[in-house]
Structure 1
């Protein structure tokens, strides 16, 4: 079976494969990882209790805190002499989460990354400009191995050095771009400043964008700026890195179900939600050896769909990640995600998709400000035009998100640009309390 054919596996065959792999994973986790044995025993469940895929919900959840509590290698299911790669998160909010890979795990990762890239039919004819960060972050090396497996030429550009990246993309004739959506937009912005014609000077035909939530408006802005197919790539290091899911030509984010089982739960109760309802994504790995993850709570908010996709793939699909549960702002009782604010902004003419949300406290009430860069063309208009634009943005945020936010229009290129994941929220509430 070819890599692409795996996405079109008959449903019954896929379910049987999932159950077999789930039972093997649960058995290994229980006997090889003391943490899981203790969790299973406390939940009153044994590996032999998993007789169907529906029995998955009997198993306890795993969280990021569990990984931190067992830092660095306490959740590994293999001895260190079988581990050939170690990655970790940045650890900006405490101990980093550490992940390990056996040779088998590396082969699985390469496979799912190749399947991700096949969403845009990447082949040996392509030159892949990889601007994801290399190092402990999984993005750079994940895309690198997947592209090489398909025979494509890889330019390991990594992050930063925007003008140099543009020179390499043009001179080397890159056909595929891999980076965060915010960096793709930044590249387009700088290319225009440098006098490049984005459609004539570059040969890009598709891009693979992930590592941060992106609103439909931002995705559209990136695709139209470069004139390319936008492929969303989803993953997280705790599961494998990028390569958990990727979007087809119809925008459906397909999960590679023969390696990962997705569920959507109510983040408050932990109950599994029916298909079509929004909740927190939970993922169980089926083929990981070094670090099996049982019902890992991703904190990512999405909706799961099992109805057939127009592309013909039989594997389940999820909607684009709305945001992370821990990125959700609660402002005076109203829940709002940065990507929702971004979507409203990108629908209003006269501003760019570059923005920052500043949350402060005034007495007992939360105060929200949205700083947005105006389009260069607006600078020649009068003060009255800018005031109307500011008022329109405030009205749109209120009408669509039910939040009273003060919009502050700032000059182009005022807000800090990110070479990786964009920082969209500045929360000052604790400082002012």
Structure 2
């Protein structure tokens, strides 16, 4: 289902013309209203009156996370406080949060792109949606909420966590749709299996999952465990929140449509910042084309992905591939550049391993070491007649030793690094409580 067929299927030449017009307007708007961009454009020698839009896009500077912190709280806002209808912010790792604001018009755009996304995910007016994203300052909960209402869904605003209540409402209220982080959807699927709740007791059909990278192995686990078609919804607070891009349910695995009439995407080299050709992996950079409270030019997301056009797709907008990692999450281990999601790809190729894993980097003397902790799938333990899985149990069992060795060899062959592999039992790794789950621990600086 298309929520806005005219714009979602707008011919590419007309879409590019619309982007060009809006980009020129946005540059002039920011040059007139935001001191940060006034200085940046002047330093780059860019005159808004002669700026050529898409042809001059690469001449613009980047906006980075540090710019939000340097201008905390409202230095990047382009409208007076009286015109700001809502504030959100993300937690700050350096003591300062990333603050974002919306005019009433911005909130309308937010609801529109989320409604488009949910429609692409399979949702239809009249269905019930259980929203397990966190409400509050995080953009996920309220962003999904108002977009779902715009589409005509009945929203169950549970918020994150409270697994007992989530499961009760899934059974009592019979929603067809679940929105959550992928890791929390895994938790719900595991709990449903552990408690013996039959899928026939649920009405779930679709799941729109986002806020963290996830793999095809996680998708398979969630789809089987919840009885849903699971799609990826992507967004970030600095741009608008969830709804920047979305997978179409009938096109799962082929990429997520970026709503290009509102968000202009680029892929650039993570080291040089130079634009990369279609299909090449690099850092996703996004420019807001229609926001008014806090527009951003060429925001460096740090997410590693690619852009490509799908000639067989149901929409004309460009697709972005799955997030392969973050530029700042890349680990350099003994001189080798390594993204933890590379381990996830190997896990998905091996039977009897769960998608639940953790990568731990440490340093012994001057030598970097990496341990990969991964859970063994529960059916294997039952087949082997094992209960809890301990290091001694792994060492004493030939099959587990072989599985551990095969995994380590595949890591060496595919990534070029030797890593220690630890097999754990189901549930031994940390689980999401509804928020984002970090699968990487870099302890080398501690």
- Contact 2:121 2:247 (C-alpha < 8 Å) held by counterparts: no
Q: Where does residue 315 of structure 2 map in the other structure?
A: 313
Structure 1 residue 307, shift from structure 2 partner: 4.6
Structure 1 window deviating more from structure 2 (312-321 vs 292-301): it is 312-321
Structure 1 residue 268, shift from structure 2 partner: 0.9
Aligned residues: 429
Gapped regions of structure 2 (runs ≥ 5): 387-395
Structure 1 residue 343, shift from structure 2 partner: 2.2
Match of 1:415 among 391, 411, 429: 429
Matches within 5 A, 1:18-417: 18-198=19-199, 200-248=200-248, 249-251=250-252, 252-308=255-311, 310-379=312-381, 380=385, 383-417=397-431
Gapped regions of structure 1 (runs ≥ 5): none
- Contact 1:77 1:289 (C-alpha < 8 Å) held by counterparts: yes
* Structure-2 change in CA distance of 1:395 and 1:289 (3 Å): same
Structure 1 residue 334, shift from structure 2 partner: 1.8
TM-score (norm 2): 0.93
Structure 1 residue 133, shift from structure 2 partner: 0.6
Cα separation, 1, equivalents of 2:22 and 2:222: 38
Q: Output one character per residue of 1:49-97: Cα deviation in whole Å (capped at 9) or x when no partner.
A: 3224121111111111001000000000000000010000111243111
Structure 1 window deviating more from structure 2 (341-350 vs 248-257): it is 341-350
Cα separation, 2, equivalents of 1:364 and 1:330: 14
* Structure-2 change in CA distance of 1:307 and 1:191 (3 Å): closer
Cα separation, 2, equivalents of 1:99 and 1:311: 33
Structure 1 residue runs of 4+, over 4 Å off?
A: none
Q: Output one character per residue of 1:126-185: Cα deviation in whole Å (capped at 9) or x when no partner.
A: 110110111111011111001111111001111111121011011111100100111111
Q: Where does residue 12 of structure 2 map in the other structure?
A: 11
Cα separation, 2, equivalents of 1:4 and 1:89: 33
Structure 1 residue 119, shift from structure 2 partner: 0.6
Q: Where does residue 424 of structure 1 map in the other structure?
A: 439
TM-score (norm 1): 0.96
Structure 1 residue 311, shift from structure 2 partner: 2.4
